[in-house]
Amino acid sequence: MNILTKKLLILSLLLSTFVVAGFDSALKKQKFLSPEEAFGVTAVLQDGTLQTKITMADKIHIYENTLFYRITSPSKVELAVNKPKAHDFDGDMVYEKEVSVGIPVAEIEAKVKGDYTLEIEFQGCSDTGICYQPIQKSFTFKGAELGVFDKISALIKEGNTAKIADVLVNESSFFILFLFFIFGLLLALTPCIFPMIPILSSIIVSKHGGSEKPSVAGAFFTSLVYVLSMALTYTVVGVVAGKLGADIQTAMQTPWVLVVFSAVFVALALSLFGYYEIGLPSSWQSKISKASDNAQGKGIMGTAVMGLLSALIVGPCVAPPLGGAILFISQTGDALLGGSALFVMSMGMGMPLLLVGLGAGKFMPRPGGWMTAISQIFGVMMLGLGIFMLSRILPQGVSMILWALLFMGSALYMGVFNPSSSTQGAKKLTQLMALVFLLYGASLFIGALSGSSSILRPFEKFTQANSAVANAVPMSAETNHKGYSIERLMKEVVASEKPVVVDFGKKSCTACTELEEITFPNAAVQKELKDFTFIKIDLTDNTKEDQALLKEFELFGTPNIIFFDKYDKYLPEKSLTGFVPPEDFAKHLQGIER
């Protein structure tokens, strides 16, 4: 190799070294910014306006159609804001350097009450070719102080017991007691309180044996004793449950208790039908009527005992306010305030019953045929209560047959087959109602024979609706929902790639049945549930594992619905207690991240 060739080779190596070094230096200079370095987001409250600002680093831009402003708490609300004018960048409308948006606080407070969370969402890119994932920044602001009725309105819609328990901690005693009285009035409008009306009415009627019209004072006093005993029962149950974590109402749902009190209601019904007079000295009926004598009696103690047992046996399933008060007692130990709240709530629930007492004394017709008819109507209601209680322990098919016999028997008793010429005036309407009872009873009987388990949908086996529900909600795919432990539940939660809905229920819970019959089959709810894994847990047996599950998630009674996100994180702020209407439940599901 000659000298010239060697020099050219050395020169080329030096040039290559300089080129590589230049490229390396350029790559080092082209370091991409992190999202925190590329975007700075602020939101401050100034003179009644939320002043928001997004500051972008050099050569960073945001796409105008990805910029959103919304309220995420206490409810989700999209905000229509006045954005600045964007400019064109390679065919897209973008912002550079800075985006400032002012949002009047009055517009937000017109849509949400109390403290709220503002979320700003956007997506941006670097001119050098990298695009960032969508970014959400949240800011929490203290809203205007809610008025008493605004607070009550918000809490009435609240289904989360933990949030209601927080109210007990942060609000005045007067507000708490007033709030729980309103809760009680609203609970009085639910089906939970209805079974108590025929019980109380039959007590009032039987005290006079249908032979005389009860006085207003006497009937009201009987109702007051009944309501007070019911209120004291709920207070004691709530305080004991809060202190010990015990579910006394579950203990009162054992088969022998339900059978005994079903027999009491049947005995009451037969006496109201006139087969015998309770209290008459008759050896063949003394045993069967003894329980009814004690419960219904002629004195204050009998009425009080019946009110106590009615609260435990046919009272409402645990509702959000009851669960909130119990949770508050368990966490703080303040049994006085928690028990007082439960007492005033129970008195609110008892308002319709006090009105029944006034009506029985003032508006009941005078002794005669009408009193006999009223007694018989109450007798049918008592039989219905007996079936209602037995349905918690009997096979569903047997319960449906009993309901069918009750409706068809009532229709016959009402004269459904009487000649049309023998009925005049209002009796025609009675005969029409009897025909409806007969048709519905026959439907239940046919449904029971076909294997149906729903008194609301007796022909479900003949339609496709039930199979659609089964396909949409995994809970219908398997029949055994008992035997869950914390470990089994969490194993299924972890195995799911979707968010998880867990429904805690039991056979003796009316609100649980309403959820299964009304809420879960709803089309809008089914559409949302397709994005979730649904787990149903039956707590009817009240085993140690069942009790451990409730304790783990700080729940009291049933129904309770809890949620896990797609990362298996428990979401206590999303929990629901009691019956939830379909439209509210569908909206609640929409607020959970998929």
β-partners of residue 104 are 49
**φ/ψ bin of 318: left (φ > 0), alpha (ψ from -120 to 50), beta (otherwise):** beta
417 shares its domain with 387? no
The reply to whether 574 falls in a domain is yes
What is the radius of gyration, based on Cα positions, of the chain? 33
75 shares its domain with 137? yes
166 shares its domain with 315? yes
SS3 33: coil
254 shares its domain with 368? yes
Please, are residues 380 and 433 in contact by the beta-carbon 8 Å criterion? no
DSSP one-letter code for 516: I
SS3 68: strand
The reply to whether 180 falls in a domain is yes
Distance of CA 315 to the CA centre of its chain: 17
190 shares its domain with 240? yes
CA distances, 177 to each of 307, 339, 344 (Å): 22, 10, 7
β-partners of residue 570 are 564
> Is the CA virtual torsion 145, 148, 153, 155 positive or negative?
positive
Q: What's residue 374's pLDDT?
A: 67
Tokens 């008592």, residue located: 382
Please, are residues 160 and 73 in contact by the beta-carbon 8 Å criterion? no
Please, are residues 118 and 43 in contact by the beta-carbon 8 Å criterion? yes
209 shares its domain with 355? yes
265 shares its domain with 352? yes
As a residue count, the chain comes to 594
Q: What is the CATH number of the domain that holds 76?
A: 2.60.40.1250
β-partners of residue 516 are none
Where is the domain boundary, 463, 497, 517? 463
Rounded to 10 degrees, what is the CA torsion of 343, 574, 175, 324? 20
The reply to whether 295 falls in a domain is yes
Q: What's residue 178's pLDDT?
A: 86
Nearest one of 185, 231, 190 to 317, comparing CA atoms: 190
Task: Tell me the backbone φ, ψ of residue 477, rounded to 5 degrees.
Answer: -75, -25
137 shares its domain with 172? no
352 shares its domain with 241? yes
The reply to whether 340 falls in a domain is yes
The reply to whether 539 falls in a domain is yes
What's the total number of domains in the chain?
4
385 shares its domain with 315? yes
Q: What is the CATH number of the domain that holds 541?
A: 3.40.30.10
From the number of C-beta atoms within 10 Å of its C-beta (0-12, 13-18, 19+), residue 390 rates as: buried
pLDDT in tens, 121-160: 999 999 877 899 999 999 999 876 666 666 666 666 666 7
Q: What's residue 445's pLDDT?
A: 93
The reply to whether 101 falls in a domain is yes
The reply to whether 418 falls in a domain is yes
Where is the domain boundary, 93, 113, 141? 141
341 shares its domain with 382? yes
Please, are residues 232 and 343 in contact by the beta-carbon 8 Å criterion? yes
Could you tell me the residue range of the domain that residue 497 belongs to?
A: 465-590
The reply to whether 19 falls in a domain is no
Encoding tokens for residue 433? 């109602």
Half-sphere exposure of 140 (CA within 13 A, CB side): 5
Rounded CA gap, 576 and 161, in Å?
A: 7
The crossing angle, in degrees rounded to 10, of helices 216-244 and 300-313 is 50
Sequence-distant (≥ 6) Cβ neighbours of residue 125 within 8 angstroms: 60, 61, 63, 131, 132
111 shares its domain with 230? no
Task: Name the pTM for this structure.
Answer: 0.57
Q: Could you list the mean pLDDT of each consecutive 10-residue stretch along the chain, which spans 594 residues? A: 54 50 47 88 92 95 95 86 92 94 90 86 90 92 69 66 72 83 79 70 64 70 88 82 61 70 79 63 45 50 75 59 73 80 87 80 54 72 82 84 93 84 75 91 91 81 54 47 91 93 84 86 92 92 87 83 92 87 90 80
Where is the domain boundary, 88, 106, 141? 141
